[in-house]
């Protein structure tokens, strides 16, 4: 029987992707005045209608670009692992 893929599994891979790319692990940073600033370039997890996808913040207003398509936790987990392997391989050159 296969192990259930949880959001914790996905979050661990997401943190590793952000660390490997030199990005903060949080998508937004609270400023001293109480407002939030978007961490452009940070990878985030988007959840909707029971599906998940990996996205990257690409504008100060919080706009995102898709990295993976929306899928099940298991599908996106494996796509994120492959994405991370590519980043780590590229970094090792």
Integer Cα distance of 38 and 55 in angstroms: 14
The average pLDDT across 58-70 equals 92
Query: What is the predicted pLDDT for the residue at 52?
Result: 96
Query: What is the predicted pLDDT for the residue at 47?
Result: 92
Q: Is the pLDDT reported for residue 93 higher than 70?
A: no
Q: How many CA atoms lie within 13 A of 56 on its CB side?
A: 12
Q: Is the pLDDT reported for residue 62 higher than 90?
A: no
Longest pairwise C-alpha distance within the chain = 50
Query: What is the predicted pLDDT for the residue at 2?
Result: 80
pLDDT tens-place string over residues 29-59: 999 999 999 999 999 999 998 899 999 999 8
Integer Cα distance of 92 and 86 in angstroms: 10
Integer Cα distance of 63 and 90 in angstroms: 26
Query: What is the predicted pLDDT for the residue at 91?
Result: 66
pLDDT tens-place string over residues 9-34: 999 999 999 999 999 999 999 999 99
φ, ψ of residue 83 in degrees (nearest 5): -60, -45
């Amino acid at each position: 029987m296969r192990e259930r893929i949880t959001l914790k599994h996905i979050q661990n891979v997401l943190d590793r992707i952000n660390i490997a790319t030199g990005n903060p692990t949080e998508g937004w940073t609270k400023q001293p005045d109480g407002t939030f600033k978007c961490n452009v370039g940070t990878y985030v997890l988007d959840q909707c209608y029971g599906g998940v996808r990996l996205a990257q913040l690409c504008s100060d207003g919080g706009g995102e670009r898709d990295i993976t398509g929306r899928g099940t936790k298991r599908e996106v987990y494996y796509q994120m692992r492959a994405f991370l392997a590519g980043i780590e391989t590229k970094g090792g050159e």
